[in-house]
Structures are given as C-alpha cells and as structure tokens.
Structure 1
Amino acid sequence: MSTDDQQDTLDELRRQAERVLDEQPGEEGGASEYRADPQALILELQRQRHELQVHQVELQLQMEQLVHTNVELERTRAEFADLFDFAPIGYLTLDRSGMIQRANLTATAQLGAPRETLARKRLSAFVDPAHVSSFALFLRRVFEAPIKRTVELRLRSAAGDHFYAQLEGLAAGDEDGPPSQCRVAIIDITAQREAQEEVLRLNTTLEERVEQRTTHIRELSEELETFVYSVTHDLETPLRHIRTFTDRLGQVHPAGDDDQARYAQHVRNSVDRMEHLLNALLTFFRISRQRVKFVPVDLNRVLKEVLKDLQGELASRNVELTIAPLPTVTGDSGTLQVVFLNLLANALKFTRDRDPARIHICAQETEQEYIVGVEDNGVGFNMRQKGRLFGLFQRLHSERDFEGTGVGLAQVRRIVLRHGGRVWAEGKPGQGATFWFSLPKRAPFSEDTQPRGQVKVEH
C-alpha cells in the first residue's frame, strides 16, 4: 500500500470518528473524550492503522498462496491430461445416446479420426454392423447401474481397418439425478483374438492328427493281433506233429540208450513249454479283444468270485489272507476278475516257501482315483528291475524256481490301461512285494461295448 493510500485511510478513519462523536454527543468516553483529549484520538487512529496493515499483509499472503495453489493445480491438470492422452488404451466419454463427448489421443488413433471429428459422431458409427446390437445392449446396461460393464466387439476405424476391442464402461454419477454420461475404455485385443484363433486351429489340426494316428495304431494293432492269432494257430499243428513223432520214435526204439530217451524227453518238455507260451499269448490277445462294458462294479464281489477259484490252494497251505473293504468302481467285472486272479496267483506263487504266507489286500482313495494293492511277504524283487515286471514274457526269477510264462502281469497292465488306470509295484529282495493298480473315479473314455470282429484263421 502506498503512502498516499495510507493517508487516505487515516483521513477516512478520522472522518468516521468525527461522525460518531457528532451522533453521540452525550456519551461519556465517546466523542467528547476525543475532543477533550486529541492525543487519545491520535492513538486510536494509529491502532486502527496498524490493524489495517496487518490485514493487508494477511491478504497479500493469501494471494501468494492462491497463486501457488493455482500453479500446482495447473501442473496437476497438465499431468493428468498427459496421462489421459497418452494412456496405452483408448478413453472416451459418451452421453446416453452414445455420442462421443471427449476422447484421448489413443482413442483417436484407434478410431482413425481427430478429436474435432469424433466429437460430432456416435461411437456406434465405428462398430462393425454385425456387433451394433451388442453395443446398444452394452450401452443400455452401463446406464442401468453404477457397475462396470464389459463387451467384446469388432470395431472399424475411419480408414476402414478392423480390429477387435474389449469395451469397459462405467456410468459417471450425477448428484441431482440419473447419470448423463459414461466413461468407456477401448482395449485392443486383436493380438489375443488372433492367438486364440491360432490355438484353436492348431488344436483342431492336432486332434485330426491324433485321430489319424490313433486310427493307424488301431489298424496296426489289429493287424498284429491277427498275425499273432494266425501264427499261434498255425504252430499248433507242427507242435502236435513233433510230439506225435517223438512218441513214435520212443515206441520204435524202446530199448534205446539213456541219452536217446533223455533227448526225447527234452523235446517233449520243449513242446509242452511252447504250447504253454502259445496258449498264454492267445489268452493275452483274447483279453485285449474281449468286449468291455463299463458299469458300477463292487470290487468286494469281484474278489469273492476270484477266491472261489483259488480256494483249493488256499486250503492246502498256511495262508493268512486279510482283506480291507474295497470300493465300488466303474469298470468291467469280467476283466477285473482277471486282474485279481493274476495278482493273487502271483502272490501265492512267490510266498510258496513262507509259513505262514501273508497276503493283504488294501484300498486307498484320492480325489481322482481308487488305488488297490496286493501285498505279500514273499521273495520280493529288486526295485532296479521294476520296469520289467509288467512286460510281456518278462521274468525276474528263474523258471526252475518259479514256473510261469511272464504273461500274467502283462495282462494286468493291459486291462488296467483299458480302464484308464495305471499299475506299479514296490518290493525288496526277501522282504515281499506290493503290486498296485489304480482305477479312475470317472472313466476317461467310453470304450466300444460291442465285440470286435472275430479273426477267422484258415488252416
């Protein structure tokens, strides 16, 4: 404030004071006091001038603060304007009719039109005609409730370029009534859609290849089974001839030396072994071709039927057989009987020198499958050889010690795999073994329940 201004203020205060004194001539301590004491009037005027100066300083400080605040607000506005314009996705403000009120630079680039052009258009003008109804429904739902709505559309820029976008809209609330505007984000998802379509295409191609290869493998498997059936049936006749002529040689030369008799017996034993292996191989492939029907099966009843066949051997030996409750599974009762029969026969064979022989049948349940185990205290096996256990004609023990063809566990594996399960074993030499198989709670596939065409073998 200049000196002249200050003087004018003092003069005005003096005139106001004089008017007050003139209006109140009779008050004590009023104007009469100042007339009697001019020095008091001067002091009062000085005090009021000081107060005015203080207020002036306060106003100046407030003005500086307002200027600083305005600068900060402008800087923040510019910062948010940059964030809005250069955001990686497009932003629009629409009215209830879908007219574009405001757009950021990304949206102008996506739609291929400057802001002044967009401000006079509806967003529906940039929507693919096939998706216009979906956009109209999206816009109506945005204004129905103050929650975020999402839709995927195909948009078309002003230049005619198409791209897929995900629109996310949210109504902007008005305090005095229903919302009149909404904010919409445009997210370009063309790359994701193309990737999804490529994945679908590859999956379709892969499924076709898998189907072709599955068909090819099935054909090869059927050819192999036909070949095995033909070979095994064709070998029956020469084996029978070998046995017959060997017996006749023994009859023609009854007084032959011991070596001749021993050789003849070796031939007979080899023929018996060959016939046994052929019969086992036929049984293996017959089970593979057997009709399978997946129905609910109580494994307790399956095991009960199997134990009837093994009753003779169980009664003639000291066998402690314990059985835990078994579940009801989805499977084929006939082939599951073969699984239990092979596993129990295997346990009885390898506990032959144990007194007592202990065999325990147990079951476990997981979220996805049922697991059944057959545990024994037999001779066991070395875990380094576990990979050979379920192979066809694979044996871990000498035939002189334990008879067998090496087909039983291969049958178990084949049957369990047809049920969508798995097989494995655990054991230690001299400490017994446990053979496990699992069955899924839900069959992973439906196998043809009709019998396959029978193989006709010409002799």
Structure 2
Amino acid sequence: MSTDDVTKTHTSPHPSDAVFELRLAALEAENATLRAVQARYEAAPAALLVLNQAGRLQDINTQGCALLGQSAKGLLGRAFVRFISERSLRTYTHLLRQAASSSGAQSAEVELLRPAGAPLWVQITAKRHDTGELLLTLVDLTAHQQGQIVLLLERDALERQLNNYAQELRDLGEELDDVLQALSSEVHTAIQRGVGFLDLLHRDATEPSEAREQLFDKAQRALDQSSDLILALRGYARANRSRMRVREVDLNRVLKDVQKDLCGQMKGRTVQLISRPLPVVQGDSQALQLVLKELLSNALKFTCTRAEARIEVLVQETDDEVRLGVQDNGVGFNMRHKEQVFGMFQRLHPSGTFKGAGVGLAVVRRVCRRFGGRVWAEAQVDQGATFWIGWPKQPVVLH
C-alpha cells in the first residue's frame, strides 16, 4: 500500500458521521419549521388556545393572554371552562362535544369571564387535532356588537324620521282634501246661483233672437261643465280619503248594484251589457262598486255614437290577481295615449263630443293603487277599447 493510499484512507469520512450529519440537518429543518409555526402562532391576529383532552390550557399565544388579561404562566394548566360564564356553559360544552366528534371546525358565541375587566362576548371556533387536542380561536365580538347597537339606533332614528314624514304627508293630504272639499262646495254653490241668474235673464229677455239663444246655450253648457268638474273633484277626494276595509266581496252583487245606478245613462239607448260569472274577491265593496261604475260609465259614454252599444265585463285569474276588464265597441283611442287616459282632466276627444270632467279613470287608478292593484288599457281607433284592473288576491290598503 502506497503512502497516498494510506493518506486517503485516513481522510475519508466514516459512514456513521454522514448519517449523523443528515439527521442533524433534518432536525435543524424541523426546528426551523417549528419556529416558523410558533412565530405564526404568536403573530396570529386572533387569540389562539390549545386545550388537552382534559380541557386544560396547554398553550396560548400573546393575543390569547391579552384577551384573558393574564400571563401565559398564570394560565397554562388551568381548565378553560372556568373562564366561561354560567349562562354560556351549555353552549360551550355542546361546542366542545361537536368539535371532538367532528373533523371540521365548529363555532359558537359565548360570554367570557376575565379576572380583570368586564365580561365580554367572543366567538369561539374549535377544531380537533389528530392528537386529540383542541385548537380554539377566539374573536372579540365587542366591536361587532357595538356596531350592531349603532346600526340599530340609526335604524330606529330613521324609522322615527320616516314615520314623522309619513304623518306630515298624511296631515298635508287631509288638509288639502279639506280645502278641496270646502272650495268645491263654495264653487258649486256659486255655479248653481249663476245657473239660476242665467235662467232668470233668459226668461226676462224681451226680444228673443237666435244669436242670444246661442249665447245662453254656451253659457249654460259652460256652467254645467264647471258643475260636473266640481262634482268629479269631490268624488276623487272622497275616493282618496275614504276609509276602506278588506273583506269578501261578491262582484256579481256589485255589478247588479252598479247597473241600477247607471239606468239613467242607458235610458233611451240600445245597450247590450254582457257579463260572465264573476268571482268573490277580497276588497272593499264600496271601492269596487266605484271602480266598476266608473269603468261602465266610461264605456257608455264612448259608445253613445253607436246605434247599438255592446259592453262586456271580462274576467281572468292568475296566481296573484283577479283581472277585470270592461270591453266596448266605442270610438277607441290611439295606444300612444294609453297612459294619458288615466290622468286627471285628460281628454283624448273634444269636450263637446263626449261629456265628462276627465276624472273618472283617474279615480279608478287611485282606488286600485290604494289596494296594491294596477290598471291598463287596450284600444284601437274606432274599434273600441278594453279597460283592465288587476286586483290583488291579498290586497293591503295603502293610505
């Protein structure tokens, strides 16, 4: 054996030394991992606790110590149940039982007792480790509860404010109705006096002439239209402020009453009024009578130029509403004006051709809206029109 061979033999590492170095490197890597885990554990933003199988504190991070108000030395080894208030004991016990029997995380809100400081509510999330230990995460709910209290107070303040606004609007509406009623009464009285004076002047006219008769006729029509307008306004105000109650209403009976009221409007005319059997609905009988009366009166008005008026009461039903329609063979209208027909004082035809104040369909829309219903129309020029109401099956009276 040469000298170089001897030297190489003496400088070669022993196999046991290599194994030792590998184990040492693995141990250092494991320690580094443990230190990293411990660092993350300590730096966690929430309080973290480890309970052994007996329910005692085995480990706790800085945030946990701060939350409980004690050092780790004074906490480790103590039963954590001692920090749970009496009224939260059942919730806490149930939480631990669920966490111990499940592989997933379980959460609950409990009241936590602290040696120093007032009790506070925390959310505890418990998860069982493979070793049987429980990892608890505690989140202070104080800020959350304070935020909820602030939101509740703000909500209550907003509700009071809205109620005040609603009451002010109701008061203003009632005041406006009172003014409208008083004004309409005074104007109606003045119009009636004007009609009386005009009649006296007409009687006392010494030299009747065609021109004078035309003037008297125009004045009479103007006063009559003004009187009709005032009466229509008073009717709208009554529909707007009348007290309405929801109960079962037989629409067949309502239709019969309306037909009696409209006998004068049908007198001397050929009118074919057709109706299918109508359902019983939830609503106010007077309100529904007003709606059907206005719709039928509207149909009679716009069929007055027909030799024979044909009016049909239609009914459809869906899951949410009962749809009533009044179809006529009258003059109809252009569908470009389908929204205008329900407006106050809106006319699609000259006032000299068809009488009325242009308020009836506005009354229909107002009454339907008070019960959460809706209105719409379908028509063709010179081909008639159909006016529909969608009456909810569960109406709620709106003020």
Matched position secondary structure for 2:282:
strand
Matched position secondary structure for 1:389:
helix
1:184-199 residue pairs with structure 2 within 5 A? 184-199=136-151
Partner of 2:60: 103
Overall identity of the aligned pairs, in % = 30
Assess if the C-alpha contact under 8 Å between 2:333 and 2:380 holds in 1: yes
Matched position secondary structure for 2:342:
coil
Q: Quote how far apart the aligned CAs of 1:295 are.
A: 1.2
Cα-to-partner distance string for 1:151-180 (whole Å, 9 max, x where unaligned): 334557777477643223456688xxxx7x
Cα distance between partner residues in 2 of 1:256 and 1:100 = 116
Partner of 1:370: 321
The equivalent position to 2:48 in structure 1, one of 91, 96, 102, is 91
The verdict on how the C-alpha distance between 1:171 and 1:330 changes in structure 2, with shifts beyond 3 A counting, is farther
Q: Quote how far apart the aligned CAs of 1:404 are.
A: 1.6
Kindly report the root-mean-square deviation, in angstroms, between the aligned alpha carbons of the 2 structures.
4.1
Partner of 1:152: 109
Listed as ranges, the gaps of 5+ residues in structure 2 are: 1-13
> Which is further off, 235-244 or 207-216?
235-244
The equivalent position to 1:283 in structure 2, one of 232, 235, 239, is 235
Partner of 1:46: none
The verdict on how the C-alpha distance between 1:400 and 1:446 changes in structure 2, with shifts beyond 3 A counting, is closer
The verdict on how the C-alpha distance between 1:264 and 1:314 changes in structure 2, with shifts beyond 3 A counting, is closer
Cα distance between partner residues in 1 of 2:374 and 2:352 = 31
Q: Quote how far apart the aligned CAs of 1:332 are.
A: 0.8
Assess if the C-alpha contact under 8 Å between 2:309 and 2:330 holds in 1: no
Q: Quote how far apart the aligned CAs of 1:301 are.
A: 4.5
Cα distance between partner residues in 1 of 2:54 and 2:17 = 49
Cα distance between partner residues in 2 of 1:314 and 1:77 = 102
Matched position secondary structure for 1:247:
helix
Listed as ranges, the gaps of 5+ residues in structure 1 are: 1-55, 448-459
Cα distance between partner residues in 1 of 2:134 and 2:305 = 86
Assess if the C-alpha contact under 8 Å between 2:322 and 2:393 holds in 1: no
TM-score (norm 2): 0.76
Cα distance between partner residues in 1 of 2:44 and 2:384 = 70
The verdict on how the C-alpha distance between 1:268 and 1:73 changes in structure 2, with shifts beyond 3 A counting, is same
Partner of 1:119: 76
Matched position secondary structure for 1:286:
helix
Assess if the C-alpha contact under 8 Å between 1:296 and 1:331 holds in 2: yes
Cα distance between partner residues in 2 of 1:70 and 1:136 = 43
The equivalent position to 2:167 in structure 1, one of 198, 211, 215, is 215
Matched position secondary structure for 1:152:
strand
The verdict on how the C-alpha distance between 1:290 and 1:98 changes in structure 2, with shifts beyond 3 A counting, is same
The equivalent position to 2:87 in structure 1, one of 134, 146, 151, is 134
Alignment coverage as a number of residue pairs: 381
Cα distance between partner residues in 2 of 1:326 and 1:76 = 81
Cα distance between partner residues in 2 of 1:272 and 1:285 = 20
Assess if the C-alpha contact under 8 Å between 1:327 and 1:363 holds in 2: no
* 2:328 is equivalent to residue 399 of structure 1: no
Cα-to-partner distance string for 1:198-220 (whole Å, 9 max, x where unaligned): 33222211221122122222222
> Which is further off, 68-77 or 430-439?
68-77
Cα distance between partner residues in 2 of 1:152 and 1:74 = 36
Q: Quote how far apart the aligned CAs of 1:443 are.
A: 3.9
Partner of 1:258: 210
Cα distance between partner residues in 1 of 2:24 and 2:330 = 96
Partner of 2:156: 204
Assess if the C-alpha contact under 8 Å between 1:96 and 1:143 holds in 2: no
Cα distance between partner residues in 2 of 1:436 and 1:199 = 44
The equivalent position to 1:267 in structure 2, one of 219, 237, 249, is 219
TM-score (norm 1): 0.68
Cα distance between partner residues in 1 of 2:188 and 2:181 = 11
